[in-house]
Amino acid sequence: MISLENISIQQGSFSASRLNLTIEKGTHICLMGETGCGKTTLMEIICGLRSIQHGKVLLNGIDHTQSSPAQRNIGYLPQDGVLFPAMTVSGQIALPLKARHWEKEKIHNRVEEIAQLLKISSLLDRLPSDLSGGERQRLALARAISFKPEILCLDEPFSALDDQTKHELIAVLRDLKVQNKTTIFHISHHKEEVHLLSDKILFMRNGALENAPKN
Amino acid sequence: MSHTPSHRDRLFRGSLVTFSLLYLALLVALLLGNVSYTSPSHLWEALKTREILASIRLSLLSSTLSALLSMLVALPLGYYLARTRTKWKILISTIVDIPILLPPLVIGISLLIFFQTSAGKFLESGFQSLFGRGFTYDIPGVILAQFTVAAAFTIRTMEVSFSRVDPRIEHMASSLGCSWSRTFFSVVLPQVKGGMLTAFTLGWARALGEFGPLLVFAGATRMKTEVLPTTIFLELSVGNIEAAVAVSFIMIFVAVTSLLLLRHFNREPLP
């Protein structure tokens, strides 16, 4: 569950004040809005990558306003993936597991499992520079979900993907929500994607959040 | 579509090529001059001398140690300078550049003076009791003098390398649960491997060629604090030009070979 209480932020020309948002556990919320309206800033606030002037960020009922990104335990997939250029595919999937001190064998099994789920098993030894756009996106999602986070933040995860890859990844996200009760906060510009996945749609305009009808 | 360059364009390009070639020709002429002045027999004679062999051994050992020590400070300081936005950055950068800007002899004198202060004497006696040798006019002094200058170059190189790493990558690693140290060692350092190799090689080559601070601080005692540049100085001072040129040739060979190898195996541009 994600709760934002009276969030205020001033970032360059963007400002928002007294933003409130609650995303219940196991729901998939999609956030839409024009480019530059502050969607990514809001997601970075939740992930702890941006500090706020005022307000509280609660994750599963615990105040994480002052927590570092590492302490928030959120699976984050930024807009362009931000893969680690010098690390192999398997290394990137295993990194969050090593950070959580998983046993070696469990890490190995989990990497295999996730790679199979996202159809990147044959790419485990490759570097990001040797991957196509779709493969990079699959890897970014694999890395974000490998440690079984309860909250997932996705910033335009399917942009520039072919239809087949997009539908495969949409199926993965649906399974995560149903099977693991993962709370998903998802930024998108694509109406089709939003209608297929979301339980609720929000629209961001002038630094404020509005409910948008699903149809 | 191609077009014929105008007379002015041809003149401009011609002058660029001429100035560049003149400089390259000067450097090549210097190298060839050295080669023509020495011969395999001179080189062999030089290499057989006990003093020169000891000088080569100490040069290689001290330069390697100095370069390793330089890397030890270049990694944290280079990273800090690449990432910090503090107003103190200008001051810290200026301090780092001091060994690059100061005349080498001044660094030697400064080291000598520092070890006459109470802090320096304390350091010297502490080091002597631990390792049985002091700094002034001894081998640790050679390494310290080389390190003082080489570190400035390695820090600058590492700063350039770290500044090429996208900071968002570190934020990403942090959001995946990585501690700062895991992010640094697992994500950042592998990205600057090329930069580390470049910094080490530059530091090593710089230490190998260091002379001024060594002469003042460590002295030029044969078979004790004698490194290759000291050998050239000592041989020249007794009129043994052949030996001096032979040792110069060894130094040129080592420097050119290490730079060629670096450029061959490493795509990271030199600063």
Predicted confidence (pLDDT) per residue in B164-194, tens digit: 999 999 999 999 999 999 999 999 999 999 9
Enumerate the residues of chain A whose CB falls inside 8 A of the CB of residue B162: none
* Predicted pLDDT at B268: 62
Is A86 close to B190, i.e. CB distance below 8 A? yes
Is B179 close to A87, i.e. CB distance below 8 A? no
Q: Is B29 on the interface with A (CB under 8 A)?
A: no
Predicted confidence (pLDDT) per residue in B10-25, tens digit: 899 999 999 999 999 9
- Please count the residue pairs, one from chain A and one from chain B, whose beta carbons lie less than 8 angstroms apart: 63
* Predicted pLDDT at A63: 93
The residue in chain A having the minimum alpha-carbon distance to the alpha carbon of residue B176 is A96
Enumerate the residues of chain B whose CB falls inside 8 A of the CB of residue A48: 175
CATH class (in words) of the domain with range A1-73+150-215: alpha beta
Q: Is A98 on the interface with B (CB under 8 A)?
A: yes
CB atoms within 10 A of CB A169: 21
DSSP state of B270: P
User: Alpha-carbon torsion A159, A161, A162, A164, what sign?
Assistant: negative
CATH class (in words) of the domain with range B42-265: mainly alpha
Q: Is the pLDDT of residue B79 over 90?
A: yes
Please give, rounded to a whole number of angstroms, the shortest distance from the CA of A68 to a CA of chain B: 8
C-alpha dist (Å) from residue A169 to A25, A159, A164, A193: 21, 12, 9, 11
Residue entry with tokens 């000067």: B26
Chain A residues 129-148 with a CB less than 8 Å from chain B: 143-144, 147
How far apart are alpha carbons B165 and B146 in whole angstroms?
29
Is A70 close to B172, i.e. CB distance below 8 A? no
Q: Is A102 on the interface with B (CB under 8 A)?
A: no
Rg (CA), chain B: 22
- In this prediction the pTM is 0.86
Predicted confidence (pLDDT) per residue in B81-116, tens digit: 999 989 899 999 999 999 999 999 999 999 999 999
Secondary structure string (H, E, C) spanning B175-236: HCCCCHHHHHHHHHHHHHHHHHHHHHHHHHHHHHHCCHHHHHHCCCCCCCCCCHHHHHHHHH
Q: Is the pLDDT of residue A209 over 80?
A: yes
Q: Is the pLDDT of residue B269 over 80?
A: no
Q: Is the pLDDT of residue A24 over 80?
A: yes
Enumerate the residues of chain A whose CB falls inside 8 A of the CB of residue B182: 98-99
Q: Is the pLDDT of residue A215 over 80?
A: no
Enumerate the residues of chain B whose CB falls inside 8 A of the CB of residue A87: 186-187, 190
Enumerate the residues of chain B whose CB falls inside 8 A of the CB of residue A99: 176-179, 182
Q: Is B186 on the interface with A (CB under 8 A)?
A: yes
Residue B201 identity (one-letter amino acid): T
The residue in chain B having the minimum alpha-carbon distance to the alpha carbon of residue A99 is B178
Least confident among A122-126, A134-138, A193-197, B141-145: A193-197
Least confident among A8-22, A58-72, B142-156, B203-217: A8-22
Domain boundaries in chain A? 1-73+150-215, 81-148
CA A45, distance to chain mean position in Å, is 12
